[in-house]
């Protein structure tokens, strides 16, 4: 199987080549190879403009979908060529597409599965959220099924913390069954930091968290920002999206009426993310024995440090468990696609709030 994922940070496509044997909860998964292919700067700018404006012409929408798809195709072909893999040996591609809008039950993950199937010569499984939304769920998070297969432990309770544009956790109780898994979004991870950098005109990201590490976080603003998020108070299931997190942060800044330099604002955004994770842990039945982190946010050292300080607990990186952080979510979509091809349900109703387990995804054959 191939898994392909582009997250809310819109930095590009992560692709993983995965060997999958068995069915359902008996699946065994082995990562063979992975790579990252960056989006061009102009495409990334278009995606953020669309998301923040909440509107776009139909022509631009169509053009962006085609551009995203061709980058997916290029990345997949590059990985197969590098590993000398015949496309006929690949059962399918699990492709998430690019999230443009998510306010359950309405959701848009944008790209063209028929074009991807044509360009790669491989059947595509896509549109994973809609079946869960149809069953009354949030359609997110989707990765807990894979987290359970990859990281559940007989004696240790674990939290899998993913730091993309949005932060989310999966709670795996020690020796627990799938029905005991909890997972939900905790608020922002990188999305507010990235927004502040784009707004400042000094770059797309705060590389390594260097600027945030020089700043002084405003605890009152960070706390108000996470509380401004509509998903802060309710118990799970809940999900978040980038525009609402940016609005929550900006509203808190306006209310404080204290202008701050960029470094301080970045530090405050990191603290906002950490406070969201801290609040999320209060919804769990017990404090986890281990917190395992993945996603692009691990490269923001200011964010990672702030999370450890706020939680008062060291965090581990998924690489230490044999799963490279850049590949983890792509692997998850390979697993979800394998379940779809087997007609196996792969949503987790205790996580999403769906009325029942359903088979996720739509299958697009090779044209």
pLDDT of residue 122: 98
Dihedral sign of CA atoms 141, 146, 150, 155 in order: positive
Boundaries of domain holding 234: 144-321
92 and 203 in a single domain? The answer is no
Residue 239: per-residue pLDDT? 85
Region of 273 please: left (phi>0), alpha (psi -120 to 50) or beta: alpha
Same domain? For 76 and 159 the reply is no
Q: Are residues 107 and 249 in the same domain?
A: no
User: Could you tell me the CATH number of the domain that includes residue 55?
Assistant: 3.30.420.40
Q: How many domains does the chain have?
A: 2
Same domain, 57 and 175: no
**Cβ atoms of 93 and 122 closer than 8 Å:** yes
Looking at the structure, tell me whether residues 128 and 166 fall in a common domain. no
Residue 131, H or E segment: helix 129-134
**Whole-number mean pLDDT of the chain?**
95
Answer whether residue 12 shows pLDDT above 90. yes
Whether 189 and 298 share a structural domain: yes
Among 294, 243, 12, 235, CA closest to 108: 243
Same domain for 263 and 153: yes
Q: Which of 290, 305, 321 is the last residue of a domain?
A: 321
* pTM score over 0.75: yes
**308 shares a domain with 236:** yes
**Helix/strand/coil for 335:** helix
Does one domain contain both 57 and 87?
yes
Q: pLDDT band for position 275 (50/70/90)?
A: very high
Comparing CA positions, the residue from 309, 246, 327, 320 lying closest to residue 32 is 327
| Model pLDDT, residue 146 | 96
Model confidence over 103-145: pLDDT tens digits? Answer: 899 999 999 999 999 999 999 999 999 999 999 999 988 999 9
Q: Are residues 196 and 112 in the same domain?
A: no
Q: What pairs with residue 362 in β-bridges?
A: 126
Residues 210 and 246 in one domain: yes
Shared domain for 17 and 59, answered yes or no, is yes
């Amino acid at each position: 199987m191939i898994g392909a994922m582009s997250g809310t940070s819109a930095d590009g496509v992560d692709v993983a080549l995965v060997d999958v044997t068995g069915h359902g909860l008996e699946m065994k998964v082995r990562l063979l190879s992975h790579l990252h292919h960056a989006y061009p700067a102009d495409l990334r700018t278009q995606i953020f403009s669309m998301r923040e404006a909440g509107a776009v012409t139909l022509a631009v929408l169509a053009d962006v979908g085609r551009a995203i798809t061709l980058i997916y195709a290029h990345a997949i072909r590059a990985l197969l060529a590098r590993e000398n893999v015949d496309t006929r040996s690949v059962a399918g591609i699990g492709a998430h597409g690019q999230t443009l809008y998510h306010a359950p039950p309405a959701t848009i993950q944008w790209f063209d599965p028929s074009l991807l199937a044509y360009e790669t010569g491989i059947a595509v499984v896509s549109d994973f959220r809609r079946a869960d939304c149809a069953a009354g769920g949030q359609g997110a998070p989707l990765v807990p099924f894979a987290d359970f297969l990859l990281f559940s432990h007989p004696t240790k309770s674990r939290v899998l913390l993913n730091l993309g544009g949005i932060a989310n956790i999966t709670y795996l109780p020690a020796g627990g069954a799938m029905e005991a898994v909890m997972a939900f979004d905790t608020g922002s991870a990188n999305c507010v930091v990235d927004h502040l950098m784009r707004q400042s005109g000094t770059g797309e990201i705060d590389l390594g968290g260097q600027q945030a590490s020089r700043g002084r976080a405003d605890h009152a603003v960070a706390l108000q920002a996470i509380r401004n998020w509509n998903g802060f108070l309710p118990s799970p299931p809940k999900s978040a999206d980038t525009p609402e997190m940016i609005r929550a942060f900006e509203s808190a800044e306006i209310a404080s009426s204290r202008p701050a330099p960029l470094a301080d604002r970045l530090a405050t955004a990191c603290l906002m993310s950490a406070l969201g994770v801290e609040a999320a842990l209060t919804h769990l039945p017990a404090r986890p024995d281990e917190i395992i982190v993945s996603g692009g946010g691990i490269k923001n050292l200011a964010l990672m440090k702030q999370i450890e300080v706020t939680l008062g607990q060291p965090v581990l990186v998924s690489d230490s468990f044999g799963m490279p952080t850049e590949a983890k979510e792509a692997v998850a979509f390979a697993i979800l696609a394998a379940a779809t091809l087997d007609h196996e349900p792969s949503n987790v109703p205790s996580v999403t709030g769906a009325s029942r387990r359903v088979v996720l995804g739509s299958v697009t054959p090779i044209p």
